Structure 1
Amino acid sequence: MLLIAYGISFICALLLIAALFLYFRKRFRARVVSLFMLAAFFFLGAYTVKMAVAFWIRFTSASGGAAVYATLKSNAWAVAQVGTTVGLLVLTVLMYTKGQDIFVSLPKRGKRSHENSH
């Protein structure tokens, strides 16, 4: 049952990341990006890594060189958990400070350095 839940979570996260990628492509072209959506994208990325590590842990068996793999799995899980936690923290702060409507205006590429040279 747990593997089915992991699989559904992993597939949904991948589908959401793909949809958000398309959203961000449009937003970066417009040079304005929602901070809340960036935080959501970061969270989903970390969560997807976490689900991949969960599959890795679940489907690999211990062998003679298990200590190295156990350390890698543990470190990968810790990094994914920290990323997930940071993403959730940022989303929570933005939600409770009414910051979900904050947009970041991106500068045009190469324009600033070109203007400063004249």
Structure 2
Amino acid sequence: MGTIDVVLIMAYSVSFICALLLMAALFLYFRRRIRARVISLFMLAAFFFLGAYTVKMAVAFWLRFSSAAGTDAVLASLHSRAWAFAQAGTTFGLIILTMLMYTKRRDLFIVLSDLKKWR
């Protein structure tokens, strides 16, 4: 394993740990907001994006670590599919956040008591 591999593994690890800590903080935020029965759509989109990013960092770490150990065709296919799934989720989250930012609708909220009417 070369120097670049070690640096990338360290960077992916730090990114993954930070993303997990942020997800935990957002989870606590959403617990409070659900009790208040109102959730910010912007924060929900950010949570979705961060969740996809966390998966992406886990897959990146897995790819980098397994490339040093050698892989077979089935594992390479799993890597590719996991990366595509994580990238699609990250892209979808970015699209939502971008739309909310550029339409200046950052203050949209979902009132959870209104969701019962839709059932």
TM class by smaller structure:
0.7 to 0.9
Q: Which amino acid aligns with 1:96?
A: Y
Give 5+ residue unaligned stretches, structure 1: 113-118
Which contiguous aligned blocks of 4+ residues in structure 1 show a shift greater than 3 angstroms? none
What TM-score do the two structures reach when normalised by structure 2?
0.85
What's the offset of the Cα at 1:8? 1.5
* Equivalent position of 1:106 in the other structure: 112
Identity %, equivalent residues? 69
What's the offset of the Cα at 1:4? 2.0
What TM-score do the two structures reach when normalised by structure 1?
0.86
State the aligned residue count: 109
CA deviation digits over 1:20-76, x for unaligned, max 9?
A: 00000000111100000000000000000000001111111334xx11100111000
SS in 2 for 1:98: coil
CA contact (8 A) 1:31 1:108 kept: no
Tell me the distance in 2 between the aligned counterparts of 1:8 and 1:99.
32
Give 5+ residue unaligned stretches, structure 2: 1-6
Q: Which has the larger helix fraction?
A: 2
What's the offset of the Cα at 1:108? 7.3
What's the offset of the Cα at 1:91? 0.4
* Equivalent position of 1:76 in the other structure: 82
Query: Which structure is larger by alpha-carbon Rg, 1 or 2?
Result: 1
* Equivalent position of 1:62 in the other structure: 70
* Equivalent position of 1:116 in the other structure: none
RMSD across aligned C-alpha pairs, in angstroms?
Answer: 1.6
